Amino acid sequence: MAKAFAVPAQLNAIEPYDRVLEIDDGTGQIRHFPMIGENIVIGRVAEVDVQINNASVSRKHAELYCDRWGRWWIRDLGSSNGTRVNGFRTSERMLELADCVELGKCKLTLTMPNQSMESSGGTSIAGQVVAVHSSDDAAAGLSMLRQSQNGSSRISALHLSQLMEMSQSLQRTEQQRERLRLLCELMVSEHFAADVGVVLMISKKEPGPPQTLCVPQVRAGCNAQSLYITQALVEACKNSMEPTLVRPSETDGSDQRLAAMACPIRNDEEALVLMYLMVKQPFANEEWLTLASLAAEHFKQAEAAWVNRKLAKVNALVEIDLERARDIQMRLVPNGIKVPGMEVAIGFKPCRWVAGDYVDVINLPNGHVMLVVADVCGKGLPASLVSSSLHTMVHAVTAAGADLLNLTYLLNRHLIAYLPANRFVTAILIDLDPKTGQMQFINAGHPAPLILDSVGNKRPLEMGDYEPLGLRDVEYKLSDDILARGQTLAMFTDGLTELKDQSGKMLTSIRLGDHLAQIAMSSEGQPLDIAADQLNHILDAYTGNRLQSDDRTFLFARR
């Protein structure tokens, strides 16, 4: 016995969707619209995506659109009666599941699919009801043919020409619903075989009937009611993933009964999507099955091109955002800062668009200078957000007059509260008096800075062994040292010591120290920026063509 399933009369796309619009137009009938694509216009006129024939709804009342993060919004299009969400009038608002949208006297509710869209007893969902014949029914009176099973294909130049024209049209057509219509429209056109064409989606995760993804296209003079979906064909196509034909057998005794063809368009973990055609008996052969499969291949190629275009567009938007984030972060790196009685030079090179390193030079009200170099665990955008928050907090706390111990305590407490588990920040914070060279500093698990002189001597700052910031409460203590006149203080992150050459060999702290000592000697009497340029040149030469795997940050200070 045939089972009746609904055929939605609207199409958005062939990809899976996770939201459905439940539409109550005030007549007592409930319709459901799958929310796929980028925008859906709702109104009273036929040209919109969702038509609601109610006088309280404007011709073009509102628009639903999906942002780049997959969130759905509703925007009023200057309607007469306005748009309300959960009782509150709005011009534009993001929607959540179960939100109730009122357009005049009509109500729309955002729901999940496969809850409201499953049909039973022939209930229509936004369209006509069609029969889906069970495997037993089909097996009793149908025979099956797959492409290349027998015979030979004879396709004319006219068919190939029309396929190429359709392919070009698909490449120009931005709306996915329109592309699917073009495919099915070609199949029912004058020189092709189908009486009825439609695209079906069979969910692999949720049991239920196939869902149509477009309005069935019908050949002129034919009856749309002749569309029926044969479960045997759907199952055969699902198992073989080949173009397949099911036709009434010769013993059936009916020449009027239509055969059915199915050609896979998409198959993944979510769903199987088929182009499904109804054809008269004279066309139920391999020749027309091959032609239909060629049309499906042209469509798949066009869809792949549109997916690539969309990805390119998304990537371009992401790159724009990352470029802006990089610009903001670079503005936070001190540039051209003047410290009375001292020279300062900074090197800062993210391994990606943005860095998880933080470097700063802050002139304090008492004439001292605060030097900070920190390295956030991780890379890229998440680490850069933490480093930006460090910049904000260090400036705010020092402006409030906090000393080095209080600053470190507050930073640690802040990071413990907000960093994810097993994330941390290494840091070296130095309070330096340019007049005397006296330094007080705290090291939180960071590589020890070096003091360099003009004759090639180097020594690390002597400091305690303390944990990084953000792991647990730690009582940090101050250490002391002196930067003599003419000496250079070199602070850096492990992005320098762990730098790798073409063979994967690390630079190491020993070789870095040797390079720094040589630079301190060769740059005596020259601006400190020249020493920074020399180090960047050495680091670039060491890595060669190898991609940088960590952020590179260093700070030079010379009295």
Per CATH, the number for 333-558 is 3.60.40.10
Listing DSSP states for 379-431 in one string gives: -HHHHHHHHHHHHHHHHHHHHTT--HHHHHHHHHHHHHHHSPTT--EEEEEEE
Domain spanning 158-248+256-308, CATH class: alpha beta
Planar angle of CA 62, 68, 72, nearest 5 degrees: 35
Integer CA distances (angstroms), 5 to 2, 132, 209, 230, 432, in order: 10, 7, 6, 12, 79
Work out the average pLDDT over 319-324: 84
Whether residue 103 contacts residue 57, with contact meaning beta carbons closer than 8 Å, is answered with yes
- Architecture, CATH, for domain 20-111: Sandwich (2.60)
Contact residues for 302 (Cβ-Cβ < 8 A; gap 6+): 167, 170, 171, 179
Neighbours of 535 (CB within 10 A): 23
Whether residue 341 contacts residue 435, with contact meaning beta carbons closer than 8 Å, is answered with yes
Q: What is the pLDDT of residue 86?
A: 85
- Alpha carbon distance 554, 539 (integer Å): 12
Contact residues for 125 (Cβ-Cβ < 8 A; gap 6+): 6, 7, 8, 31, 32, 117, 119
What would the two tokens of residue 401 be? 């007059």
Rounded to the nearest 10 degrees, how much is the dihedral formed by the CA atoms of 394, 396, 398, 403? -80
Integer CA distances (angstroms), 227 to 2, 184, 196, 197, in order: 13, 13, 6, 8
What would the two tokens of residue 409 be? 């305590």
**pLDDT (tens digit per residue) in 234-279:** 888 888 888 988 877 655 455 567 888 999 998 887 788 899 999 8
169 three-state secondary structure: helix
Q: What is the pLDDT of residue 280?
A: 87
Identity at 299, one-letter amino acid code: F
Domain spans of the chain? 20-111, 158-248+256-308, 333-558
Among 314, 219, 298, which Cα is nearest to 265's? 298
**pLDDT (tens digit per residue) in 373-431:** 999 998 888 889 999 999 999 999 999 999 999 999 999 999 999 888 888 999 999 99
Whether residue 144 contacts residue 232, with contact meaning beta carbons closer than 8 Å, is answered with yes
Identity at 462, one-letter amino acid code: E
- Alpha carbon distance 257, 227 (integer Å): 11
The alpha helices in 279-342, defined as continuous H runs, are 286-332
239 three-state secondary structure: helix
Contact residues for 507 (Cβ-Cβ < 8 A; gap 6+): 496, 497, 498, 499, 500, 501, 539, 542
Mean pLDDT of the chain: 83
φ and ψ at residue 188, rounded to 5 degrees: -105, 10
DSSP lists the bridge partners of residue 48 as none
167 three-state secondary structure: helix
- Global pTM exceeds 0.85: no
Q: What is the pLDDT of residue 381?
A: 84
**pLDDT (tens digit per residue) in 323-378:** 888 888 899 999 888 999 999 999 999 987 888 999 999 999 999 999 999 999 98
φ and ψ at residue 554, rounded to 5 degrees: -150, 160
Q: What is the pLDDT of residue 254?
A: 52
Neighbours of 420 (CB within 10 A): 10
Q: What is the pLDDT of residue 143?
A: 52
DSSP lists the bridge partners of residue 432 as 369, 439
- Alpha carbon distance 519, 513 (integer Å): 10
Alpha-carbon Rg for the chain, nearest whole angstrom, is: 35
